[in-house]
Structure 1
Amino acid sequence: MLPVFLVSNKPFTGKNLIALGLALNLKERGYKVSYMKLIGKFPYRKDNQIIDEEAYFIHSMLESQDPAEYCSPFVWTYQVQYKLFEGEDLKIEEKIFEIINNQKDKDILFIISGDTFFEGYSLGIDSLSIIKKLKTKTLVIQTWEGETSIDDILGIKDLASDNFLGAVLNKVPPEQYFYLKETVVPFLINKGVKVFGVFKKDKFLESVTVRRLLEIVNGGIVCGEDKLDEFVENYLVGAMDPGQALPYFLRVHNKAVITGVHRTDIQILAMETSTKCLILTGGLHADENIVNIAKSKGIPIIVTSLDTFSAVDRIQNIMGKAILKEKDKALKFKEILAKEFDIEGFLKELNL
């Protein structure tokens, strides 16, 4: 069994999605693959066990026959934090290495690091410790945020030393894609970094469901319950004069429109455009006429007692940062990865 460690020095770089996309493609080629997320942060109860919700989704997508705890050996909870600060030996490292040793029948085990290179240091499961102890091949997943992204890749390359495998550039703004391919990638190659893929930022992959928006604003659903699993790619705030609203709404597709519950003029205009849902702030009672129009158009209405600023703040913080738990996203990225990732070069570097 060959462990491949996906690391980053920032959160939300797409490590889990890339691991799943790779695993699905390799499984299709006949390889035995497995997955482990070292530090779970989204507690989910399964068969009287607490595991990470995102990890369990990936475990299910891979149709793994291994116990669910294999994909998520450790999850941060308040109870665990209390035990750590009390000085209790949690034996997390032992558990993780025991699970790894139990998967020797696999060809590849994809291991996902914490959000940063040193996360998990107090537990003995930070990236550097895992690389040293397992001597695992290390793949950096890096979002493109300008030249500092190069620093992260080269810094991790130096720290991983002989265990460094290469890098993936992810969530690249489309207008910078060719610049990276023609300028940044050759620079990295000259520095000894193999770049296995460059992925453009994708609105669908960064979208959230109406259901997730309902949760994040702690709202109530007025109508459109059957549309809760629709994907929302953008959001707009409806706080302008009606005369300015329509051109504004027409420019953005597949959006949620956030506006005050009393702004019925804005709500009507929003529903004339590509709107996935209305989020009405500052009250819990939507106008009856608005509800009837929304029902006829199949547009969900969410009401929340939050003010517009607070609702926008919460939504802004999750767009592009939602955990992976939608099959449609996973299957789409599997197709993208098959085209944009150098799978043959990857397997060659692993001697598989």
Structure 2
Amino acid sequence: MRLVFLGSTGDHAGQSLVAWALARDLRARGLRPGFLKPLFLKEEPSEGIARDEDCELFKEVLGLQEPLETICPVFRAESQSGRLSVEAVLQALGPVLEGRSAHVDLLLIMGRKEIFLDDPAWPISDVALVQGLRADFVLVTRHLDLPRTLYTVLSICSLLGPRVRGVILNRVPPQEMQAVSEEILARISGRAMPLILLVPEDPILSCRTLAEVVEATRGELLLGHHRAGELVSDWSMGAGHALVGDMAVFRRLYNRIVLLGPPESGSKELGRPVGVILTAGRRPPPVLYQVAQRRDLPLVVSPGDTFTTLELLERSPSRLSPQQEPKAERMTQWLARGGKLDELWASLGLISEPGR
């Protein structure tokens, strides 16, 4: 059983989605992926049970038979030092790993959100854990600019050396994909560097579902329950370009937010309307309700005013759920471009080298 530790450099890097995409690709090849996410706590959880969204997600999407306690083992720091020894963690993980080895080909181990920062609340570093487990390592990082990306790649390779098998640069502006790739290869030429995988900024990957929007705005879905899984990539108080034909009647409402779907591939235009939020708790008049019914347009009523509702949408994080399989499929497609996943799995000895 190979151990692959998946590290990250901060929020919005896409760590969970990448893990799901990698697991999907392994299963499509007939391999058996597993999932593990150790949790390190300094205090007992308030509800008595440690809950983690990633562990619950992967238990369902991978159909894992293990109980959550072994998918998400909890470790507590020593009360005085606030730290944990690597030896103690490895000893506790030993039986867990041994129990998986018979039915798992590759175990994905998810680290914390930020590998470089020394978080006092986290009693053991990801680097120490990777070294102790003798695991291979894949880093997921959000591309912000070339200097920071190069610093990140060189830093992680300096810390973990040949254990680093891949670096996934997520959310690269599409118009910069080629330039970023060429510049990184030019700067690291001659070094023993890992596989670099680039994923462009993709509206579909950052979408949330209509059901998430309803939850985030504390609203009520009046119409369109069968479209709760519809992808929402943006929203607008205006969107007059989209309110045409019989939908022009919605222009009369000042307390509206138009929800927009992802744009067509390669298009810079805003997406089509996939729903309308009516704010301040106001119910739609019959004429609007009838138009929405006829156009199969979901209607949401939010109790807050328009600006409060917009703030809730902006501030609420998007959470992965089993219903977002299309996102995982899309991420898998990006990662697999150019045979990159073939190269990654071949480097781990899971498949034959490409071309052989």
CA offsets 1:24-43 (integer angstroms, 9 cap, x no match) = 222332333211233499xx
The 8 Å contact of residues 141 and 170 in structure 2, kept in 1 or not, is answered as yes
Residue 237 of structure 1 deviates from its aligned partner by: 2.3
Deviation at 1:201, TM superposition (A): 1.9
Assess, with a 3 A threshold, how the Cα gap between structure 1 residues 88 and 8 changes in structure 2: closer, same or farther.
closer
Counterpart position of 2:127:
128
Q: 2: CA distance between counterparts of 1:74 and 1:154? A: 32
What is the CA–CA distance in structure 2 between the aligned matches of 1:175 and 1:127, rounded to whole Å? 33
Shift in CA distance, 104/133, structure 1 to aligned 2, threshold 3 Å: same
Partner of 1:142: 141
2:176 aligned partner, one-letter code:
Q
5+ long unaligned stretches in structure 1: 42-47, 239-244, 251-258
Match of residue 278, structure 1, among 276, 279, 282: 276
Aligned with 1:342: secondary structure? helix
SS class of match (1:198): strand
Displacement of 1:209 in angstroms is: 0.7
Q: CA 1:199/1:267 → structure 2, altered by over 3 Å: closer, same or farther? A: closer
CA distance in 2, matches of 1:110, 1:127: 14
Corresponding position of 2:240: 246
1:104 paired residue number: 101
Aligned to 1:44: none
Using the TM superposition, give the Cα deviation of residue 125 of structure 1 relative to its aligned residue in structure 2, in angstroms. 4.1
Partners in 2 of 1:123 and 1:139 — Cα distance?
20
Partner of 2:187: 187
Cα distance in structure 2, aligned partners of 1:56 and 1:189: 41
User: Of the candidates 290, 293, 309, which is equivalent to residue 291 of structure 2?
Assistant: 293
Aligned length: 322
Does the 8 Å contact 1:214/1:220 carry over to 2?
A: yes
Q: Which stretch of structure 1 is more off in the superposition, 123-132 or 169-178?
A: 123-132
User: Gapped runs of 5+ residues in structure 2?
Assistant: 42-47, 244-249, 261-270, 351-356
One-letter amino acid matched to 2:101: K
Task: Report the 3-state secondary structure (helix = DSSP H, G, I; strand = E; otherwise coil) of the residue aligned with 2:176.
Answer: helix
| Preserved CA contact (<8 Å) 1:224 1:300 | yes
SS state of the match for residue 197, structure 1? Answer: strand
Contact 1:5 1:110 in 2 (8 A): yes
Q: Is the 8 A contact 2:130 2:137 kept in 1?
A: yes
- Rounded to whole Å, the distance in 1 between the matches of 2:252 and 2:125 is 47
Q: Which amino acid aligns with 2:137?
A: T
CA-CA distance at 1:123 after TM superposition: 4.4
Name the aligned partner's letter for residue 183 of structure 1: E
Q: Does structure 1 conserve the Cα–Cα contact (< 8 Å) formed by 2:9 and 2:142?
A: no
Question: Does structure 1 retain, via aligned residues, the 8 Å contact 2:40–2:122?
Answer: no
> Do structure 1's residue 263 and structure 2's residue 254 form an aligned pair?
yes
Deviations 1:254-306 (A, max 9, x none): xxxxx999427x789x9xx8211111222342333222211211111111122
